[in-house]
């Protein structure tokens, strides 16, 4: 095995903390195999693995700071441990990995709950901010075409709050008791073209966003009572976009 491949194999073992044999498809000599197999028993190697996992957990924790701060210590540690065991915290693209970690957390949270709301908030804010770096307002003239199809924006999001958003966030920041859950949800739209990347959503806007699970003709939406001006506003905010 070439030196570079051998170094890559050791790096793979450092990251392979989920118990899977990630070297089984590599071509190694019996001597190399014997050495690599003995590494997990080496104190220096175990220390390296521990440092790597600690670094990955710390990086992941920053990506979901608000959400993790709401969870019991044991739950927080378990989520971080499970994520790093899956190889999380090692990717070069921080935004993509942060979004993936938040998505991972969301699958372990009750919905609806304040914890789930804040997780969705962090995810939507992350995506909208990422999209804002290269967002260009599309030409609304295509809305008039019979062939125009609309879909949800790739960097858009809809987050439901089961309390007044500012009340919930203030309670988090001040580490005060969270407000009671309300059955009347307040929805915020996130999009890369919005002035603050978010704004309160109207009932009709929520309906439009929820309908766009697949590319939908703009004429169909207009025919169902969603006026062109509202669709243009959503388009320019990056909340909806032209389907390609």
Residue 232 belongs to domain with CATH number: 3.90.930.50
For 223, the domain range is 115-244
For the chain, what is the domain count?
2
Residue 19 pLDDT: 46
Among 39, 73, 108, identify where a domain stops: 108
Segment (H or E) for 45: helix 43-63
How does strand 149-152 pair with strand 216-217? antiparallel
What separation in angstroms does the CA of 206 have from each of 44, 96, 128? Answer: 55, 26, 17
Instruction: Kindly report, residue by residue over 175-222, the tens digit of the pLDDT.
Output: 999 999 999 999 999 999 999 999 999 999 999 999 999 999 999 999
Q: Can you tell me the distance from the alpha carbon of 134 to that of 117, in angstroms, rounded to the nearest whole number?
A: 27
Tokens for 199, please give them. 């704004």
Supply the pTM of this predicted model. 0.76
Among 61, 86, 108, identify where a domain stops: 108
Among 47, 81, 108, identify where a domain stops: 108
Q: Can you tell me the distance from the alpha carbon of 204 to that of 38, in angstroms, rounded to the nearest whole number?
A: 62
**226 and 193 in a common domain:** yes
**139 and 228 in a common domain:** yes
Residue 185 pLDDT: 92
**83 and 179 in a common domain:** no
**69 and 127 in a common domain:** no
Tokens for 122, please give them. 């962090």
Q: Can you tell me the distance from the alpha carbon of 215 to that of 232, in angstroms, rounded to the nearest whole number?
A: 16
Which segments in the chain show pLDDT lower than 50? Answer: 18-21, 92-93
Q: In b/e form, how buried is each residue of 151-185, taking b as 16+ CB within 10 angstroms?
A: bbbebbbbbbbbbebeebeeebeeeeeeeeeeeee
Residue 85 pLDDT: 78
**126 and 54 in a common domain:** no
**122 and 104 in a common domain:** no
Segment (H or E) for 105: helix 94-106
**167 and 103 in a common domain:** no
**214 and 135 in a common domain:** yes
**CB–CB of 9/23 below 8 Å?**
yes
**243 and 136 in a common domain:** yes
């Amino acid at each position: 095995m070439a030196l570079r491949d051998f170094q890559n194999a050791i790096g793979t073992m450092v990251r392979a903390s989920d118990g899977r044999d990630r070297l089984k498809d590599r071509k190694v000599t019996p001597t190399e195999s014997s050495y690599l197999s003995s590494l997990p028993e080496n104190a220096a190697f175990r220390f390296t693995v521990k440092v790597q996992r600690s670094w990955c957990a710390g990086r992941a924790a920053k990506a979901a700071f608000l959400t993790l701060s709401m969870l019991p210590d044991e739950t927080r540690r378990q989520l971080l441990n499970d994520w790093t065991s899956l190889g999380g915290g090692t990717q070069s693209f921080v935004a993509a990995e942060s979004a993936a970690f938040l998505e991972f957390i969301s699958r372990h949270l009750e919905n609806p709950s304040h914890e789930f709301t804040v997780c969705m908030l962090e995810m939507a804010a992350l995506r909208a901010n990422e999209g804002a770096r290269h967002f260009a307002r599309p030409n609304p003239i295509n809305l008039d075409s019979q062939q125009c199809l609309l879909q949800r924006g790739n960097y858009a999001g809809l987050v439901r709050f089961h309390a007044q958003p500012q009340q919930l966030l203030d309670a988090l920041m001040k580490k005060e008791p969270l407000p009671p859950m309300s059955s009347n949800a307040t929805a915020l739209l996130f999009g890369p073209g919005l002035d603050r990347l978010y704004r309160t959503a109207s009932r009709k806007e929520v309906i439009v966003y929820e309908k766009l699970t697949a590319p939908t003709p703009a004429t169909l939406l207009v025919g169902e009572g969603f006026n062109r001006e509202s669709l243009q506003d959503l388009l320019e905010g990056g909340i909806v976009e032209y389907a390609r």
